[in-house]
Structure 1
């Protein structure tokens, strides 16, 4: 069987692998029921959906002919390093500095990964996404997430 699109083949393969890993890993937890889902309910369902999506992309890569085989290009190291650093920064900053300071810092850092960085757009995104995250997670879902640095209290 010939791979007709290398990009689709490898992305589909990774989707299937990650989806199956999440579905398999979630079997260690309680599933619960549809009315009261347990901790395995969402990761299992999401893992299965991701694996199915990956299977569809794999099928496309093996059946639909492309002009040049869509070879995989070089790895974009700069955006990869910036996004991984932003994720690590989020994990380190959130418990100490709270949502109000962590999200703008992470959003500004991750916006540097793109080719078309504009400070005004990044600041607007930071403000809107921080407010939206507070609205959804803290106010709407009542999750216990620190909003302000621990120095300023609750």
Structure 2
């Protein structure tokens, strides 16, 4: 049986983007929009949600146009273990950020996330984690001056 959807990946990604964009707009609720010159709390999320919905709509439209390419556009397997590892790493980052500080949280995030890859190698992952943790501290704390703890209270910092 043939389908009118010529590119299933574009269709499903477009549908996900469209749903997330519309959900963002809906969840903003009654927050004040303001104007482009004086933005209210609802302005940026609404604009971002609208743009995301437009990108999703474009993906859905593209999925019906063009030549059929099932061999190159088949949807692969759903890697639930890898998704769980990365989601867990992001949640752990949020927990460690306040308690242990930015370098530890970034190090753990990168190391655990790289474990989800089929090409995982401990040596290169450790180098990447150390490098990105140092880069995060340099960029966010030193250059941008964001109030992120370098050493958290769990490790004796403030």
Instruction: Report the TM-score, using the length of structure 1 for normalisation.
Output: 0.86
- Equivalent position of 1:142 in the other structure: 145
- Equivalent position of 1:105 in the other structure: 108
Q: Secondary structure, in 3 states, of the residue corresponding to 2:36?
A: coil
Q: How many residues align?
A: 154
Kindly tell me: are residues 23 and 89 of structure 1, through their superposed partners in 2, closer, same or farther at Cα, counting changes over 3 Å? same
* 1:96-154 deviation line (CA, Å, top 9, x unaligned): 11112111011100001111112333223223322332233323443322221204223
Unaligned runs of 5+ in 1: none
Return 113-122 or 99-108, whichever deviates more.
113-122
> Is 2:91 aligned against 1:88?
yes
Return 13-22 or 73-82, whichever deviates more.
73-82
Unaligned runs of 5+ in 2: none
Q: Secondary structure, in 3 states, of the residue corresponding to 1:28?
A: coil
Within 2, Cα distance between the matches of 1:31 and 1:146?
32
Q: How does 1:44-55 map to 2 (within 5 A)?
A: 44-55=46-57
Give, in angstroms, the shift of residue 86 of structure 1: 0.6
